[in-house]
Amino acid sequence: MNSIAEHIADFLKEYPPFNHLTFQELSEIATSIRVVNLEKHKILFQINDALHDSFYVVASGVINLSVIADAEETLLNKCHDGDIFGLRPFFAKNNYMMTAKAREESIVYAIPIATFRPFVANNSEVLNFLLESFATNTPNPKDKENLRGKLISDNVYYSDQQSEMQYFQSLNYNNSPLKTTITSTVLEVAQLMTETIMNNVIVCDNNMPIGIVTDSDMRSKIATGRFPLTASVDKIMSSPVITVQENVSLAEAQLLMIKHNMTHLCVTQDGTNKSAVKGIISERDLIIAQASNPGVLIKEIKRSQTPKDLKQIRERLADLIQNSIHKNIPLSHINNIASEINMALIKRSVELSILELGSPPARFAWLSIGSQGRKEQLLPTDQDSILIFEDVTPDKYRDVKDYFLKLGKKTTATLEKIGYELCPNGHMGSNMLWCKSLTDWVKQYNSWMNTPGENSNDLSSIFFDYEIAFGEQKIEEAITNTVFKNAKNNTLFFDFLGNDALRKNAPLTFFKNFNVEEEGPNKNKFDIKTRALMPLIDGARLFALNYNIKGINNTYQRFKQLAITDVKNSEIYLNCAEAFLVLSKFRTIEGLKNDDSGQFINLNELSKIDREKLKSALAPMKELEELIKSKFQLTQFS
């Protein structure tokens, strides 16, 4: 092995994904690698260039990756030593979508895809790394430091879910594929493909796949005159067919195509070629699936310039949620991803307002409260938010508050256009009451918590579920410190919150039937939000505040944490956590079905099994109620 190749292999083994390969494998790859010297500002490839046959690793120097959006160049990323870029030829057939340009004198290694492909096919860690880098355009998706504020999301933990989502993400594909039999001639098949505007046909024997013919077979084998049009179709088909099961994930499909160097996969009933054909997956289906990948959606949000752009992404999020539920992906997982995308939409809405109004005159924080603050918003419910700006001198106060009220009004109007309705109770940063300085907010929380009941009509417990969507983290921390300082030994406050949690009507009657609405437009329906979910949400909040559990707002996660903090009651908390997920899923499915918030469940439409499932999810609520009564010594409503 020559010394240059050895030097390259030595360099690569330090960096992912090459660290998953043996030195032997790396040496093999290294012998076919080209060393490319780039002068400062030299372009390696640019937007719309035809794809190269290699992808690249930076050996030294810095490569800038950028896109052109609205006539200006936006820097997506800087690639340093060991970073990978230019992966598009691996996963997509269309031209480059970004420009790679040397920021200074640089050396890059060009790794031929044909050489590297077999190593990817045999190593799922390498594939996952490449998939993830491609989906996020982050040179090293696992590098937590580099991710900070770079391209994907400001919450670093998101990166790990990226690969999980790749694994789970479902594929939409053609489930009424063209089929023909082995006795057909090439001419008949060509006519069939032309009439149906399809570029592939599965050759079947007794509805089981034995081969596939694609456009490229027609071009390479018929147009070149290798076979006559009268030949039988088995002469030109590719065989055997690579088959998969119906619920194959994006990552698995991608792995198989790379492994077998195929552009199509055949979906069959049991995933083998000994069962009936159910559909066909093409490379194009994979590219489309990639586009509704959470990482890709977040990137698009960051580049969006109008509420209309954001609305389209919000609609794609709804599809993502629907597909994920259909695929039985765990709800807690769907929640994490949906809340990341919701938060990114809110953040971008605030940014667009600032772009229009000019720089803010003071630091501030935009907090989402309620279900968005708890990261439980799978359905488009109304928006709830508060705006807190830092303290300023009295002479500036008026102008500063005016600016932030304008910012609030613009942002809530944008969010309304995206599909988040305005809050009917006016709990929004555009409302004078809920847009104020930090000192005023601290006073507000002090008053709510130390004299609850005196002005209880404006104490809404949703103000204790908040998550920063934009702005200064320290402002959010100041509010959290105020809340937990006031909660300490505050019997009056817990008495008030405890009774509030117990005030909701029981979900089941004395005879264990569902308590349904007696009148109005939702007559005979079950209000799953008020009767089932709210008592769990209130209970989780109450105990989290009492046990000083900071930074966890999500109801499911609050119960999980409570089970660790208050061990003797852990069983109750874990049952409540599980119940919360089951009930949320019922609500989400109902909402997706009727395109609403899913609050009212039509029990007549549920199967007997689902009714029982719903009923048993309500059981832990009784235990939670008893626990609240004994813990806070609440015998009757005070």
> Are 447 and 571 within one domain?
no
Span 375-388, average pLDDT: 88
Specify the pLDDT at position 332: 79
> Are 461 and 495 within one domain?
no
- Which CA distances in Å does 232 have to 181, 182, 228, 430? 10, 7, 9, 71
Secondary structure class of 399 (helix, strand, coil):
helix
**Among 209-213, 254-258, 397-401, which is the least confidently predicted range?**
254-258
> Are 245 and 348 within one domain?
no
169 — pLDDT class (breaks 50, 70, 90): low
Specify the pLDDT at position 144: 38
Which tops the pLDDT comparison, 255 or 173? Answer: 173
Among 418, 448, 479, identify where a domain stops.
479
> Are 496 and 471 within one domain?
no
> Are 341 and 464 within one domain?
yes
**192 pLDDT exceeds 70?**
yes
Which residue in 74, 75, 80 sits closest to 59, CA to CA?
A: 80
What's 266's domain CATH number? 3.10.580.10
What's 455's domain CATH number? 3.30.460.10
Cα distance between residue 309 and residue 348, in whole Å:
11
**388 pLDDT exceeds 90?**
yes
**149 pLDDT exceeds 90?**
no
Cα distance between residue 324 and residue 459, in whole Å:
36
**158 pLDDT exceeds 80?**
no
Cα distance between residue 242 and residue 235, in whole Å:
18
Cα distance between residue 177 and residue 175, in whole Å:
6
Determine, yes or no, domain membership for 151. yes
- Is the pTM here over 0.75, yes or no? no
**381 pLDDT exceeds 60?**
yes
pLDDT digits (tens, 9 = 90+) for 447-461: 889 887 765 555 678
Which residue in 166, 135, 134, 173 sits closest to 324, CA to CA?
A: 166
What is the percent of the chain where pLDDT is above 70? 90
Specify the pLDDT at position 638: 40
Span 321-343, average pLDDT: 81
Determine, yes or no, domain membership for 12. yes
pLDDT digits (tens, 9 = 90+) for 296-320: 788 889 888 999 999 999 988 888 8
Cβ 262 vs Cβ 242: under 8 Å: yes
- Average pLDDT over the chain reads 85
Specify the pLDDT at position 53: 92
Span 43-67, average pLDDT: 90
> Are 137 and 67 within one domain?
yes
Cα distance between residue 192 and residue 205, in whole Å:
18
pLDDT digits (tens, 9 = 90+) for 580-607: 999 999 999 999 888 888 999 999 999 9
Secondary structure class of 381 (helix, strand, coil):
coil
What is the percent of the chain where pLDDT is above 90? 49
> Are 519 and 559 within one domain?
yes
**What is the amino acid identity at position 329?**
I
What's 120's domain CATH number? 2.60.120.10
Where in the sequence is the domain holding 183, given as residue range(s)? 179-286
Cα distance between residue 138 and residue 83, in whole Å:
9
> Are 132 and 196 within one domain?
no
Secondary structure class of 380 (helix, strand, coil):
coil
Specify the pLDDT at position 106: 94
Q: How many domains does the chain have?
A: 4
290 — pLDDT class (breaks 50, 70, 90): low
Q: Edge-to-edge, what's the strand order for the sheet holding 385-389?
A: 435-437, 385-389, 364-369, 466-471
Specify the pLDDT at position 164: 42
> Are 200 and 86 within one domain?
no
Specify the pLDDT at position 454: 65
- Which CA distances in Å does 529 have to 536, 537, 599? 10, 10, 5
Specify the pLDDT at position 147: 34
Specify the pLDDT at position 265: 93
Specify the pLDDT at position 292: 62
> Are 117 and 184 within one domain?
no
pLDDT digits (tens, 9 = 90+) for 2-41: 788 889 999 999 888 998 899 899 999 999 999 999 999 9
Span 504-518, average pLDDT: 81
Highest mean pLDDT out of 62-71, 160-169, 517-526: 517-526
Span 376-385, average pLDDT: 85
Highest mean pLDDT out of 284-298, 366-380, 452-466: 366-380
| Secondary structure in 3-state letters for 109-127 | EEEEHHHHHHHHHCCHHHH
> Are 16 and 125 within one domain?
yes
Strands of 449-551 (E only): list them.
466-471, 526-527
Span 377-383, average pLDDT: 83
272 — pLDDT class (breaks 50, 70, 90): confident
**328 pLDDT exceeds 50?**
yes
> Are 429 and 578 within one domain?
no
521 — pLDDT class (breaks 50, 70, 90): very high
Convert 66-79 to b/e letters by CB count within 10 Å (16 or more is b): bbeeeeeeeebbbb
Q: What is the DSSP string of 382-398?
A: ---EEEEE----HHHHH
Among 444, 479, 514, identify where a domain stops.
479
pLDDT digits (tens, 9 = 90+) for 475-491: 999 999 999 999 998 98
